[in-house]
Structure 1
């Protein structure tokens, strides 16, 4: 995936399917005989078409890290929604990262071979995930690609690369591990989104054949802009070594995915063309663009496979690309997950086709009234399916399906989805049947599948409600096997694993990587790991035992609320081997506006990319009087805006800082040292004033308007890296309001408004009104006023009395828009 945020996406209109049956003729119902304006679609098996290679998803960039820690039965339910045929997404391809112990977007994935003498075929979670996918669908195809790699595999100093024979040996060892797990790998790529070395691909192809992996198809070059086509056309050896041409974001990036072209020269190669990564959009609001991106790569570019990043948004919200995936699952402690609309957008293709079917070119194109259509047939032409999406349509349109070339002329079962609804009963619903020659009315903003096949189904497993990760939280690491990654711990860079403690009994957490890996995105380049609940961890004391190397430093982090580039946003307490300590704040200042999509007017005035703003500010510093050899206990205590730094149980600094309201705990080590940690403890702190902020899991929100990708829920998700933004296309004028539901009547004490922090003033509220309500209907104004147009957090005291709802109305704001990075609500406790 690209190192950018996902924020732009599009949703679609409504198609109501009653759960218990039709209240009348259904939308999309067939009528006898064609109308004068109906578009005729001929599904002619004799028309030709490329072989369909499947629809899949990508587990990479540590995007699936938290899934393995989910409890049963929720973990099984999630896997069923992703892989089980006739149940959910029914994925036909699973693509995974070959871990390299270096940041690859939302963390680092463990390597199976950290030096030439080290081989551990059980390290990491991708083996487990592939086994689970195969257990549910033995026919699923497996694909693999490396982002980074251990240092020993690479070459070069200023920018190490993986174009070495050592790296080929490394990939062969990974394939050997796959065999040990009983896994047959179908596709293997080179280096994600870097560049390519034509000679290296030829050596890889030869090595695969020599070592018994000749059936593994080589994919090149998993990058952008089809730059690989000219060398493939020119170089016969390179062309012979490459089996599949894979390109990323062929439908555009962070856009509506309207067109998905390929160069004519790519089609002329005669090789399968694969949209080998597409997506980066949320599991709910990204469903409509995804529906386009499943049909249009073939229509516009003859691509026969599309792979979505990511498989599942199973990483912490402190990291980039929150919620991007087919599903969401980042609360293993609660078991909560979301089988979003994207699951069913995919199911409209995967539950009705199989790899090896053929596209029918006569029935692949764009609908006259907006949208697209493709048809696929089985090799023996006994079955066929047509997938029609009307995402672009603004009015109903009639189509008539005709068949030829020996395809059966019997009735076609119709399934449809309303991707704009949050009501899952409107997704993937049977909608009667239609015969060839009959008119079918397609409503705007839908996906339809017409099919001769049977066996489709819709899983009905229900997620438990989300809940906070309760404090106190403790882990002494003694209950894990050596080499294990502790539960809920997520490495951003490097690898933190359980190991025997140095110089004493028991097990500790040890940073295992001793040299800079061959990096992909250049982020961090130092070992960091995080744990905890961004949505509820606010006032707490975090403490951990640390054992320093002879030189270097270790850190305890608190209120971690974001990560991007070389920064981890939060409060850092660093202890160095020379006795110096430093308490400092690292602040990302929110999402850099240059990372917004070009169509986003909230980025107006940004003409060229610029570095993401990072503020590093020393809060306190000093030197330890006693020797620092051996073990020490670092601590951070947060109570409101008051921060206390602790060393060996005693305070060494007390400061006030308003930057971070809540967040996770983290551990960091200087590059690339093997420091140890033990007895991690996070205990609650009761802040003065009898006030408690509600965890984000207890809040929901609605707005008078919003732009898709900037929904009201993004203002109450615990992360200042996401935001609510009023609609800008077409623009909704002020006043605009956002209403927060706390779930039940409570003695509300405070409301906190965090403006967007990226230096762009569009939407920053400067004049407001606040109102409360018990029933969500009748609101009573309780506060009003003006704020400066800046990024500082604002607090509003409430006069007392019970209320369930809080409504913040923007009467004036930067650029005439309204936005909120985060809104938090506090209740009185006494």
Structure 2
């Protein structure tokens, strides 16, 4: 911890007063005082830095801790935790953040989990709950000048309405809690991404003034910007009272959510109000890929939109990685048991601004613009000295440029210090490097900048690059057996590694005759949902990569009538708990079910047992061995089923909403051998293709298939699509005896689940022999391909011959090679059965289609155009309800035998057909039904088979679809005709 630096200004004019030794690494990234290197064409550009220039005040750079995004940081070992905090908040070390925005918790799933409410009923306040107070204290210890910003996501259930006077009381009580903790809150918002209630903002301003918080600025409206950027400014233009109540206009993602952030948006109404404009939540994307978009936004916020505050969600990626946007943040910290963390280039992008400026500096409009080659630059000056700073990003530059800076208006003529970061390399060794200084001659100096970089030119000094790094192996897993008896957890505290998905769990004295501490679900009234995320109260614990041969048990005591649940093999938790669940009610009803990534339940078994009642202890259990799943109560078997929907993952506790229950003595013990795999750190990977471009905040390169992270993945190229087969080849580093491969598909609804595969091995990397092949079900479970006998190999290749989705890439989240015998997993668990081996499909070019209803732009022929990014959709404007049908003329008579239904693939479930009938006809007039059934409302490919029947016409009659709509991205008709 940098205790000697706290309270020290990050701006030290004298070169001899730097508080940490500066890192100086020679590099060719920048040429100072000279023209561009030989052979390059420099596009000269002159920038006048005038100290008398006008511009808006800079409000700072910050991070957002919300939606349980910081939960796992609390449980890190002290040394690594302090190192992470230093990278975020310490001056002259890392990101040196100016603002910390925190969630005012509401006990609801607000992105990656739930944060505790300080006021669970209108007559109780507990200022000790949660971990945001701890985080604020750590930030302030490192930077006493840091500004704090509070904002609620959801709301307690006792509110009369979401927007009501209760909200103001709630916020005032939180302000009082902050005061008790010794914090001054600089900024306060009314609600997150929930519209903007005019009266609530006015009442909030009045309440702050009446309660002694007049120095706290009100921010509005904390909504997603598109498509109506800064809509709240339009309302304020004709409402002086509303306008007077709001001090800062804060909108989210004004440079467009999870894009490259090349253009930032503002409105005339927002500018006309002459208030500070903030991007009050700008998604940083993942901690590596997000560096380039963040670098653009840091400058273009001001150039394009006059935005003076940039707050990034997430502060850091510190939640379990079986979530689709894991890794989002300035750095990664999701392995508290090992202390592993990573410092990505996003930290240094922030440092290029924060270590050379302070809030209150002023932008210089005449020195903030774009260069002819496409670089952006902003200039700022100190309000108290003659110092200035210029930040340049060249990510879209077409060539190197020599920039000439003319300095005037009373600004310093001291040498200009130059720092650079190369964002086109994967290494962080060339990030935030101190270059040689530039002398200013006759008020002028030159700097040549290369594409793909961020530069800072500044007359300030004292900056430095932190050097701490984790020594842990990213592949190190949380060990099993794993136990938690909660006795070492302080009353009211959170148990280590337990992360609430929904509701609020705390350590409390055990009820009844049991001594010690138990874990209790505390929330007794359903909170008001944020963005419709709702489920029973649930908390998760464990390593998402746990191999699934284990038994988990927990003691449970219902304090209220309802049910308790134990979950295992949880492989995804995006607003759901995808895994196996055993549920027991107080009156003895029980069920064993599987939940998928979309929150849909499939009941596997159910029954009745002796009523457990309330206020008595009982032990719930789940036992997993391969595809065998057993549910237990008090050591007695409730049911044993065969299912392979989930094969790996963590465990969880759930309570019927919204009831109280206690848990104790959680144990996870091995229930059979877990295979051993070649460590990913000892191998390298290559692929036939990969998608290396930034797609909504991630890249999909081949190395991500062996990085021990469940949120990252390799995808074969899909823009434009590279046709299957596609393969990934692992070099194991040396020849080993191997027994098979384990394939982990995406934890989300992403395309590319490999359904048909071949495995090859080689000792020399040239001659490969096939050792396995087969089909895998369309589930998110980890699959295996065991070899019939051990093979000596240095190279192992997985070739995908079929995969799901549109476009149809091959996708691998993790690929492991077993060095011990590997049991086969992947029996039918999809609910739709394995894909039929259709011999042939009618060529779509020979077909035509018509429908009983269609929306313009979504006509029937879109279902046979070969492009699964288009679709047929029944009319929704005006709305024409199902049932609706689509009929295919095959162009000739075929012995039809099946239909392949591809649902829409754009992430929207509306219109996925769930109930269907299929009929055929020879003349297009008289139809005979050949099949009927139900399909799951997900984006996996669906099949329907029937006995070969001669027909020219096939009709898909969509009886019901998700959310009252029906659609089809692509339909294929199988036949047996020669």
- CA separation of 1:213/1:803 partners in 2, compared to 1, >3 Å: closer, same or farther? farther
- CA separation of 1:682/1:455 partners in 2, compared to 1, >3 Å: closer, same or farther? same
Q: Hey, what does 2:838 align to over in structure 1? A: none
Q: Hey, what does 1:747 align to over in structure 2? A: 737
For residues 682 and 500 of structure 2, the distance between their equivalents in structure 1, rounded to whole angstroms, comes to 27
- CA separation of 1:118/1:37 partners in 2, compared to 1, >3 Å: closer, same or farther? same
For residues 430 and 801 of structure 1, the distance between their equivalents in structure 2, rounded to whole angstroms, comes to 51
3-state secondary structure, aligned to 2:133:
helix
Q: Hey, what does 2:217 align to over in structure 1? A: 217
Q: Does 1:360 align with 2:364?
A: yes
3-state secondary structure, aligned to 1:209:
helix
Q: Residue 819 of structure 1: which of 784, 807, 811 is its match?
A: 811
What are the residue-to-residue correspondences of 1:600-615 with 2, within 5 Å? 613-615=598-600
What are the residue-to-residue correspondences of 1:764-783 with 2, within 5 Å? 764=754, 766=756, 768-772=758-762, 780-783=768-771
Q: Residue 541 of structure 2: which of 502, 508, 531 is its match?
A: 531
- CA separation of 1:779/1:380 partners in 2, compared to 1, >3 Å: closer, same or farther? farther
The answer to whether the 8 A contact 2:152-2:191 is kept is: yes
- CA separation of 1:575/1:697 partners in 2, compared to 1, >3 Å: closer, same or farther? farther
- Unmatched 5+ residue regions in structure 2? 1-22, 823-978
Q: Hey, what does 2:29 align to over in structure 1? A: 27
Q: Does 1:462 align with 2:476?
A: no
- CA separation of 1:648/1:717 partners in 2, compared to 1, >3 Å: closer, same or farther? farther
Q: Hey, what does 1:598 align to over in structure 2? A: none
Q: Hey, what does 1:686 align to over in structure 2? A: 672
Q: Hey, what does 1:128 align to over in structure 2? A: 134
What are the residue-to-residue correspondences of 1:537-686 with 2, within 5 Å? 537-565=547-575, 567-588=576-597, 613-625=598-610, 627-629=612-614, 630-686=616-672
Q: Does 1:118 align with 2:119?
A: no
**Deviations 1:255-301 (CA, angstroms, capped at 9, x unpaired):** 11110120121111110001100015000111111111111110100
For residues 489 and 476 of structure 1, the distance between their equivalents in structure 2, rounded to whole angstroms, comes to 12
3-state secondary structure, aligned to 1:564:
coil
The answer to whether the 8 A contact 1:644-1:655 is kept is: yes
For residues 66 and 614 of structure 1, the distance between their equivalents in structure 2, rounded to whole angstroms, comes to 24
For residues 259 and 347 of structure 1, the distance between their equivalents in structure 2, rounded to whole angstroms, comes to 22
- CA separation of 1:761/1:87 partners in 2, compared to 1, >3 Å: closer, same or farther? closer
The answer to whether the 8 A contact 2:549-2:626 is kept is: yes
The answer to whether the 8 A contact 2:742-2:783 is kept is: yes
The answer to whether the 8 A contact 2:560-2:659 is kept is: no
3-state secondary structure, aligned to 1:519:
coil
The answer to whether the 8 A contact 2:95-2:347 is kept is: yes
What are the residue-to-residue correspondences of 1:725-764 with 2, within 5 Å? 725-729=715-719, 736-740=726-730, 746-755=736-745, 764=754
- Per-residue deviation, 1:617: 1.2
- CA separation of 1:274/1:254 partners in 2, compared to 1, >3 Å: closer, same or farther? same
- CA separation of 1:583/1:678 partners in 2, compared to 1, >3 Å: closer, same or farther? same
Q: Hey, what does 2:507 align to over in structure 1? A: 498
Per mean C-alpha deviation after superposition, the further-off stretch among 335-344 and 795-804 is 795-804
- Per-residue deviation, 1:827: 2.4
For residues 733 and 131 of structure 2, the distance between their equivalents in structure 1, rounded to whole angstroms, comes to 36
Q: Hey, what does 1:796 align to over in structure 2? A: 785
What are the residue-to-residue correspondences of 1:48-59 with 2, within 5 Å? 48-59=54-65
- Per-residue deviation, 1:77: 0.4
For residues 50 and 371 of structure 1, the distance between their equivalents in structure 2, rounded to whole angstroms, comes to 21
Q: Does 1:155 align with 2:154?
A: no
Q: Residue 98 of structure 2: which of 86, 92, 98 is its match?
A: 92
The answer to whether the 8 A contact 1:365-1:372 is kept is: yes
- CA separation of 1:755/1:313 partners in 2, compared to 1, >3 Å: closer, same or farther? closer
- Per-residue deviation, 1:235: 0.4
- CA separation of 1:720/1:63 partners in 2, compared to 1, >3 Å: closer, same or farther? closer
- Per-residue deviation, 1:759: 6.9
- CA separation of 1:725/1:670 partners in 2, compared to 1, >3 Å: closer, same or farther? same
- CA separation of 1:308/1:772 partners in 2, compared to 1, >3 Å: closer, same or farther? farther
Q: Residue 257 of structure 1: which of 261, 269, 272 is its match?
A: 261
For residues 102 and 362 of structure 2, the distance between their equivalents in structure 1, rounded to whole angstroms, comes to 26
Superposition RMSD in Å: 2.7
What are the residue-to-residue correspondences of 1:688-703 with 2, within 5 Å? 691-692=675-676, 701=685, 703=687
Q: Residue 828 of structure 1: which of 820, 824, 838 is its match?
A: 820
The answer to whether the 8 A contact 1:535-1:695 is kept is: no
- Per-residue deviation, 1:31: 4.0
For residues 629 and 658 of structure 2, the distance between their equivalents in structure 1, rounded to whole angstroms, comes to 29
What are the residue-to-residue correspondences of 1:114-263 with 2, within 5 Å? 114-152=120-158, 154-156=159-161, 161=162, 163-223=163-223, 224=225, 225-263=229-267
- Per-residue deviation, 1:493: 0.8
For residues 735 and 660 of structure 2, the distance between their equivalents in structure 1, rounded to whole angstroms, comes to 51
- CA separation of 1:732/1:804 partners in 2, compared to 1, >3 Å: closer, same or farther? same
3-state secondary structure, aligned to 1:425:
coil
For residues 46 and 200 of structure 1, the distance between their equivalents in structure 2, rounded to whole angstroms, comes to 40
- Per-residue deviation, 1:43: 1.5
The answer to whether the 8 A contact 2:35-2:42 is kept is: no
- Per-residue deviation, 1:94: 0.5
- Per-residue deviation, 1:464: 2.2
For residues 779 and 739 of structure 1, the distance between their equivalents in structure 2, rounded to whole angstroms, comes to 13
For residues 386 and 103 of structure 2, the distance between their equivalents in structure 1, rounded to whole angstroms, comes to 37
Q: Residue 712 of structure 1: which of 698, 702, 706 is its match?
A: 702
3-state secondary structure, aligned to 2:166:
helix
How many residues are aligned here?
A: 775
3-state secondary structure, aligned to 2:451:
coil
- Per-residue deviation, 1:422: 3.0
The answer to whether the 8 A contact 1:57-1:307 is kept is: yes
- TM-score, structure 1 as length reference: 0.88
For residues 682 and 101 of structure 2, the distance between their equivalents in structure 1, rounded to whole angstroms, comes to 35
**Deviations 1:296-327 (CA, angstroms, capped at 9, x unpaired):** 11010001010000001111112342000001
- Unmatched 5+ residue regions in structure 1? 1-18, 589-612
Per mean C-alpha deviation after superposition, the further-off stretch among 730-739 and 497-506 is 730-739
- Per-residue deviation, 1:518: 2.1
Higher relative contact order (CA 8 A, sep 6+): 1
The answer to whether the 8 A contact 2:67-2:111 is kept is: yes
3-state secondary structure, aligned to 2:30:
coil
Q: Does 1:474 align with 2:478?
A: no
3-state secondary structure, aligned to 1:40:
strand
3-state secondary structure, aligned to 2:465:
coil
Q: Residue 714 of structure 2: which of 699, 716, 724 is its match?
A: 724
Per mean C-alpha deviation after superposition, the further-off stretch among 788-797 and 40-49 is 788-797
Per mean C-alpha deviation after superposition, the further-off stretch among 48-57 and 725-734 is 725-734
For residues 649 and 501 of structure 1, the distance between their equivalents in structure 2, rounded to whole angstroms, comes to 22
- Per-residue deviation, 1:172: 1.3
Q: Residue 797 of structure 2: which of 807, 811, 821 is its match?
A: 807
Q: Hey, what does 2:48 align to over in structure 1? A: 42
- CA separation of 1:42/1:148 partners in 2, compared to 1, >3 Å: closer, same or farther? same
The answer to whether the 8 A contact 1:761-1:790 is kept is: no
For residues 698 and 582 of structure 1, the distance between their equivalents in structure 2, rounded to whole angstroms, comes to 44
Q: Hey, what does 1:609 align to over in structure 2? A: none
The answer to whether the 8 A contact 1:561-1:719 is kept is: no
The answer to whether the 8 A contact 1:756-1:764 is kept is: no
- CA separation of 1:21/1:180 partners in 2, compared to 1, >3 Å: closer, same or farther? closer
For residues 578 and 523 of structure 2, the distance between their equivalents in structure 1, rounded to whole angstroms, comes to 23
Q: Hey, what does 1:101 align to over in structure 2? A: 107
For residues 318 and 482 of structure 1, the distance between their equivalents in structure 2, rounded to whole angstroms, comes to 29
Per mean C-alpha deviation after superposition, the further-off stretch among 503-512 and 660-669 is 503-512
The answer to whether the 8 A contact 2:317-2:332 is kept is: yes
Q: Hey, what does 1:67 align to over in structure 2? A: 73
- Per-residue deviation, 1:713: 4.8
- Per-residue deviation, 1:634: 0.7
